[in-house]
């Protein structure tokens, strides 16, 4: 089986390492950075340097593939529109000329917007608030509507990503001892890299289609997580200034029931501090 990873960064690389273990998968990975080619050649049979707007390049990469993972994120100085939407539109055109049977796209739970902390699932309407959120919403729509009659499209809406080299302590240590706006009661909605890889492989193997949220079971608030990180790593505690409103741009508790009902078992249902 031929698999392509468009955008082989933190998530794409981890997925490539997993797929490399399966002797039956031939991996093609893309990067925009020529200096990354050597590194990626350790985890993919073929590495291609391309921008998501490169129609001929994408047609050539996607030709003969069975499954494609789209996992791009903007590099410094790049816009959401160029990175997500333009790449999705170009991928759609290239897929229409291919025999690909499955597309998996890593989206984000932040699309739900401010739901005042209530529990949301995949049926809940998204409420993008910023221009970038609207672009991410449009990116999902392009992939879902343009390709629905052609192949299985699986959208995984990820929570905040942590894992090896992106440990919670690295993410939160810079705010240790500081005062944060709000009370920290918003649901934090994290997902471990191992589960992102696990769910992407599950989606590939079982040909999942439609939208699936991917967060862990921990259901902790930002304050609970920051308190635990500071306690476990012996860092000064964070205090909260309730006279200011929170700077968090989305506030919803995310249900992960749909992907669990499909049969996916979380590797890290609780958070690793
Ligand atoms: N970070 C989070 O907490 C979070 C939360 C929810 C969802 N997500 C989503 O999770 C996915 C994976 O994130 P990640 O952390 O693995 O991102 P990452 O490490 O930044 O990797 C992104 C990849 O996309 C490539 N890329 C950037 N611009 C491109 C373009 N215009 N055309 C083609 N490729 C391009 C990059 O190329 P180079 O190799 O040249 O750098 C890189 O390989 C993303 O879709 C992101 O939106 C992230």
Q: How far is the CA of 101 from the centre of ligand 1 (A)?
A: 23
- Helix residue spans in the chain (DSSP H): 10-21, 37-40, 55-62, 80, 87-96, 131-147, 168-172, 193-205, 222-232, 257-261
pLDDT in tens, 140-166: 999 999 998 999 999 999 999 999 999
pLDDT in tens, 87-100: 999 999 999 999 99
Residues lining ligand 1, judged by CB closer than 6 Å? 7-12, 31-33, 36, 51-52, 71-75, 78, 82-83, 87, 106, 108, 158, 160-161
CATH of 2-162+191-217+253-261 given 3.40.50.300, 1.10.1740.10, 3.10.20.30, 3.40.50.720: 3.40.50.720
Q: In the predicted model, what is the mean pLDDT of residues 179-186?
A: 95
In this structure, the strands spanning 210-214 and 152-158 are parallel
Q: In the predicted model, what is the mean pLDDT of residues 62-69?
A: 98
> What number of helices (H) and strands (E) belong to the chain?
10, 13
User: What gap in Å lies between CA 131 and CA 18, rounded to an integer?
Assistant: 34
Q: In the predicted model, what is the mean pLDDT of residues 60-73?
A: 98
Does residue 247 carry a pLDDT above 90? no
pLDDT in tens, 159-172: 999 999 999 999 99
pLDDT in tens, 91-131: 999 999 999 999 999 999 999 999 999 999 999 999 998 99
The residue to mutate among 71, 155, 194, having the most atoms of ligand 1 within 8 angstroms of its beta carbon, is 71
3-state SS class at 164: coil
Q: In the predicted model, what is the mean pLDDT of residues 43-55?
A: 97
Q: pLDDT band at residue 23, thresholds of 50, 70 and 90? A: confident
Q: How far is the CA of 267 from the centre of ligand 1 (A)?
A: 23
CB atoms within 10 A of CB 1: 14
Token digits of residue 30: 């893309």
3-state SS class at 263: coil
């Amino acid at each position: 089986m031929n698999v392509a990873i468009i955008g082989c960064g933190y998530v794409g690389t981890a997925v490539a390492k997993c797929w490399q273990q399966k002797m039956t998968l031939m991996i093609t990975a893309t990067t925009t950075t020529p200096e990354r080619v050597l590194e990626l050649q350790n985890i993919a049979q073929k590495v291609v340097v391309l921008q998501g707007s490169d129609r001929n390049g994408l047609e050539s990469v996607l030709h003969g593939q069975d499954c494609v993972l789209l996992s791009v994120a903007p590099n410094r100085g790049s816009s959401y529109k160029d990175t997500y939407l333009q790449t999705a539109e170009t991928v759609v055109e290239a897929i229409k000329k291919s025999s690909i049977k499955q597309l998996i796209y890593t989206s984000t739970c932040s699309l739900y917007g401010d739901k005042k902390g209530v529990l949301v699932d995949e049926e809940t309407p998204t409420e993008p608030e910023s221009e970038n959120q609207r672009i991410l919403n449009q990116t999902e729509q392009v992939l879902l509507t343009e390709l629905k009659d052609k192949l299985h499209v699986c959208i995984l809406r990820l929570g905040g990503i942590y894992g090896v080299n992106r440990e919670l302590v690295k993410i939160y240590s810079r705010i240790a001892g500081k005062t944060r706006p709000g009370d920290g009661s918003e649901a934090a909605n994290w997902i471990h890299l191992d589960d992102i890889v696990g769910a992407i492989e599950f989606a590939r193997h079982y040909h999942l289609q439609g939208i699936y949220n991917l967060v862990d079971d921990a259901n902790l608030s930002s304050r609970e997580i920051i308190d635990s990180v500071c306690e476990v790593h012996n860092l000064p505690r964070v205090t909260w200034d309730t006279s200011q409103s929170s700077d968090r741009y989305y506030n919803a508790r995310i249900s992960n029931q749909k992907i669990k009902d499909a049969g996916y078992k979380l590797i890290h249902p609780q958070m690793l501090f």
